């Protein structure tokens, strides 16, 4: 029987995991999914994700693919996958993909959202929000400064160094918008791709703009400098969600 390529969508609460990518500790999203797939097929099968998410980061629609021999429907495979995973990981869609599909290399872009709470987030929300506590943000100034980052730029200044050569630092941001409803603030971004910790670093910069610590001209200067500085903080992982991968 020839192998079939399966495209899978999963969601997870990243709080208790060490991120997406497999590690020796075994406590990652990829590790748990691969163990479950290996149980189903009685062989070691590697999955390929659309990209990494760091420890503590969440996903509403991460995408991965794998190849395997399966004589039943994709729906039956989804049911088998869901039955043996931790409560914090859910497979909500499995479909047959073209043999040329690749979860990472076929992706055309991604959407991320970052949640901020103006004040102290209640316990049932605190693991999904960055609480501002006593600080207040100027949303209008944040959106004005965000316009600087729209379009195609070298985003080296808004990325973290992994200790080795990164991929192409030139990315295109199509959307970067901050909205507020009640005490909840949402930073939404869509782009062609993102560098390591890029969304969290941009969020940290926008928060400092909202607090009056940075100006729009500061963001322009930092972007043009193409060098990561300590001028602003990196937002914590807890508020970040991978919302969608575009194909």
The reply to whether 120 sits in an annotated binding site is no
Rounded Cα distance between 90 and 110, Å, is 20
Work out the number of other CB atoms within 10 angstroms of the CB of residue 13: 16
Q: Decide: 126 and 116 in contact? Cβ < 8 Å.
A: no
Beta bridge partner(s), residue 153: 171
What per-residue confidence (pLDDT) applies to 228?
85
Angle at 197 between CA 107 and CA 45, to 5 degrees: 50
Q: Is the pLDDT of residue 164 over 60?
A: no
- Give the model's confidence band at 56: pLDDT under 50 very low, under 70 low, under 90 confident, else very high: very high
Catalytic, 54? Answer yes
Q: Decide: 160 and 196 in contact? Cβ < 8 Å.
A: yes
The tens digit of pLDDT for each residue in 105-154 reads 999 999 999 999 999 999 999 999 999 999 999 999 999 999 999 999 99
Helices H, strands E: what count in the chain? Answer: 5, 10
**In the chain, alpha helices (H):** 29-41, 74-82, 139-146, 198-210, 216-225
Domains of the chain with CATH codes:
4-97 (3.30.70.580), 109-246 (3.30.70.660)
Residue 81, class by beta-carbon neighbours within 10 Å (0-12 exposed, 13-18 middle, 19+ buried)?
buried
Q: What is the DSSP letter of 213?
A: S
**3-class SS letters over 166-203:** CCCCEEEEEEEEEEEECCEEEEEEEECCCCCCHHHHHH
Angle at 149 between CA 194 and CA 218, to 5 degrees: 120
pTM score, whole prediction: 0.94
The tens digit of pLDDT for each residue in 166-204 reads 578 999 999 999 999 999 999 999 999 999 999 999 999
Q: Decide: 127 and 15 in contact? Cβ < 8 Å.
A: yes
Angle at 16 between CA 15 and CA 21, to 5 degrees: 90
Q: Decide: 80 and 119 in contact? Cβ < 8 Å.
A: no
Find the catalytic residue in 54, 67, 138, 218.
Answer: 54
What per-residue confidence (pLDDT) applies to 167?
78
What per-residue confidence (pLDDT) applies to 165?
54
Best CA proximity match to 16, nearest among 157, 165, 127:
127
The pLDDT > 70 percentage for the chain reads 98
Q: Decide: 126 and 198 in contact? Cβ < 8 Å.
A: no
Average pLDDT over the chain reads 95
SS3 label, residue 81:
helix
**In 58-138, alpha helices (H):** 74-82
CA atoms within 13 A on the CB side of 105: 5
Rounded Cα distance between 181 and 138, Å, is 13
Which residue reads 């040329």 in tokens?
100
What per-residue confidence (pLDDT) applies to 79?
96
- Give the model's confidence band at 162: pLDDT under 50 very low, under 70 low, under 90 confident, else very high: low
- 8 vs 161 pLDDT, higher one: 8
What per-residue confidence (pLDDT) applies to 26?
84
């Amino acid at each position: 029987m020839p192998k079939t390529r399966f495209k899978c969508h999963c969601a997870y609460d990243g709080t208790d995991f060490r991120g997406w990518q497999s590690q020796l500790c075994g406590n990652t999203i990829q590790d748990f999914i691969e163990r479950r797939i290996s149980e189903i097929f009685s062989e070691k099968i590697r999955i390929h994700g659309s990209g990494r998410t760091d420890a503590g980061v969440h996903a509403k629609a991460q995408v991965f693919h794998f190849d395997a021999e399966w004589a039943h429907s994709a729906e039956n495979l989804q049911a088998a996958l869901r039955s043996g995973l931790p409560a914090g990981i859910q497979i909500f869609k499995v479909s047959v993909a073209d043999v040329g599909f690749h979860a990472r290399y076929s992706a055309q872009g991604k959407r991320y959202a970052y949640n901020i709470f103006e004040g102290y987030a209640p316990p049932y929300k605190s693991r999904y929000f960055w609480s501002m506590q006593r600080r207040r943000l100027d949303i209008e100034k944040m959106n004005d400064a965000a316009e600087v980052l729209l379009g195609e730029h070298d985003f080296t200044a808004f990325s973290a160094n992994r200790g080795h050569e990164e991929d192409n630092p030139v990315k295109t941001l199509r959307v970067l918008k901050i909205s507020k409803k009640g005490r909840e603030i949402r930073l939404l971004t869509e782009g062609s791709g993102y560098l390591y910790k890029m969304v969290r670093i941009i969020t940290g910069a926008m928060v400092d703009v909202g607090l009056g610590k940075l100006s729009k001209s500061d963001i322009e200067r930092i972007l043009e400098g193409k060098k990561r500085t300590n001028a602003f903080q990196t937002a914590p992982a807890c508020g970040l969600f991978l919302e969608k991968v575009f194909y």
